[in-house]
Amino acid sequence: MELRFLNNSYEKTSLLRFFDPNPLRCFSLEQIASKSGLSYETIVNAIAQLNQEGIRILYRPENGYFYEPRETILHPDKITLHLFTRWWGRRVITVDQISSTIDLAKTLAIDPERHGTVCIANAQSKGRGRYGNAWASPQGKDILLTFLIVHEGWDIPVSLLSLYTVVSVVRVLDTAYGLPVAIKWPNDIVAEGRKLGGVLVERDESSNSFLISLGLNVHSRPCDWPREIRDVGVSLSMLKEDHWERDYLIAQCGATWETQWETLMQDKGETVRDYWNRYSTTLGKTVSFLYRGRQLSGFTKTIDQEGRLLLLTDEGRDLALLPEEVRSLRILE
């Protein structure tokens, strides 16, 4: 398999901005130039580059250039095409396969322009969830991404940022697609009691950045997954027969993530907690979990300002759980 590492560019996105909504329609070089403001040479070069990268823009001598869409391509310019964000996705990189998008993001953490950079993979060989749990990912079917943000102001706890990200994705799936999605503390997106996706937030101290990762099952099916998770996983296409477009979905998640950022900064997470409570499957339930190596159970009460889960254990003790302290949380009733 040819390994491609693609970067978005202003020129290529500008071209796709009018080719993409009009598949198979022809445009002359003159028309493209007048609408995009690019020179003939730039246009021809950008079209050649897009063709090399798997986006087919063909030429008919009598009519001009036209775009022939192919569904499976996940191309950075097709993502930026949909974006109206100010900094999320200012740079988008896609790769066919990589050990993990987190590894790629880490190598970019030294870049002064890293803020808003999004790394997307078509497949991961060593994708991971919390505690290095494996995250299965077949080629070209799901969403696997990590984005980098720099935060120099308020010191936001990783656990709150994790809730914030989960809430953003769940709101997209609920309000734009009407899916019955819910959140299982701390970072799981679930539907019909099965796992649809997850979020992982890491803090990179050396670069003062957060690495925020999202895994979301889109087109994959149980036969694509390891045997042990076939019964507990679910994908968007299993939930709803729809023409799921990964590039548009990524843009929606990114845009929703960015647009709530100021609210998060202003209200210190109050709105996020409201949403979280609305979508949570975890609150008011008896749960069992491993806490610092001990098997415990208790009744969940609420989440606090930092995104910690507050509960009353069966031994009558109040506990504030951090995501990293808890493993194998199971809802009993």
Partner 1 sequence: MDFEFIERVVRLVEEAEIAELELESGDDLRLVVKKSGSYIAAPAMYTQTIPSGYPPPSYPVAAPPAAAKEEAVDASIHVIRAPMVGTFYRAPAPDAPSFVETGAAVQDNTVVCILEAMKVMNEIKAGISGKVLEILVENGQPVEYGQPLFKIKKN
* Residues in 155-184 at the binding interface with partner 1, rule: CB under 8 A: 171-172, 175-177
Q: Minimal distance in Å, beta carbon 40 to partner 1?
A: 15
* Residues in 79-98 at the binding interface with partner 1, rule: CB under 8 A: 80, 82-90
What are the beta bridge partners of residue 94? Answer: 6, 120
Contact between 13 and partner 1 per CB under 8 A? yes
Closer residue to partner 1, CB minimum distance, 144 or 255: 255
CA dihedral 113, 271, 101, 148 (to 10 degrees): 10
* Residues in 22-61 at the binding interface with partner 1, rule: CB under 8 A: 22, 25-28, 30-31, 35
* Residues in 242-281 at the binding interface with partner 1, rule: CB under 8 A: 248, 251-252, 255-256, 258-263, 266-267, 270-271, 274
Whole-Å CA distances, 87 to 115, 148, 213: 7, 11, 17
Alpha-carbon span 61 to 84, nearest angstrom: 34
Alpha-carbon span 138 to 209, nearest angstrom: 29
Closer residue to partner 1, CB minimum distance, 108 or 326: 108
Contact between 5 and partner 1 per CB under 8 A? no
Alpha-carbon span 80 to 120, nearest angstrom: 12
Closer residue to partner 1, CB minimum distance, 95 or 150: 150
DSSP state of 280: B
Contact between 10 and partner 1 per CB under 8 A? yes
Strands (DSSP E) contained in 71-185 are 91-98, 117-124, 143-150, 181-184
Q: Minimal distance in Å, beta carbon 291 to partner 1?
A: 33
Q: Minimal distance in Å, beta carbon 64 to partner 1?
A: 6
Closer residue to partner 1, CB minimum distance, 116 or 323: 116
Closer residue to partner 1, CB minimum distance, 121 or 173: 173
Q: Minimal distance in Å, beta carbon 23 to partner 1?
A: 12
Radius of gyration of the chain (CA): 21
DSSP for 237-254 reads HHH--S---HHHHHHHHH
Contact between 333 and partner 1 per CB under 8 A? no
Ordered alpha helix ranges (H), the chain: 10-19, 29-36, 40-52, 76-80, 101-108, 158-171, 236-239, 246-259, 261-267, 270-279
Closer residue to partner 1, CB minimum distance, 82 or 128: 82
Q: Minimal distance in Å, beta carbon 6 to partner 1?
A: 17
Q: Minimal distance in Å, beta carbon 77 to partner 1?
A: 11
Contact between 17 and partner 1 per CB under 8 A? yes
Closer residue to partner 1, CB minimum distance, 99 or 263: 263
Alpha-carbon span 183 to 191, nearest angstrom: 9
Number of chain residues interacting with partner 1 (CB under 8 A): 53
What are the beta bridge partners of residue 295? Answer: 290
Pick the stretch among 19-27, 158-166, 195-203, 292-300 that binds partner 1 (CB under 8 A).
19-27
Q: Minimal distance in Å, beta carbon 320 to partner 1?
A: 24
Long-range contacts of the stretch 288-293 (C-beta < 8 A, 24+): 288/328, 288/329, 288/330, 288/332, 289/321, 289/326, 289/327, 289/328, 289/329, 289/330, 290/326, 290/327, 290/328, 291/319, 291/321, 291/325, 291/326, 292/325
Residues near partner 1 (CB under 8 A) are: 10, 13-14, 17-18, 21-22, 25-28, 30-31, 35, 62-64, 80, 82-90, 115-116, 150, 152-153, 171-172, 175-177, 248, 251-252, 255-256, 258-263, 266-267, 270-271, 274
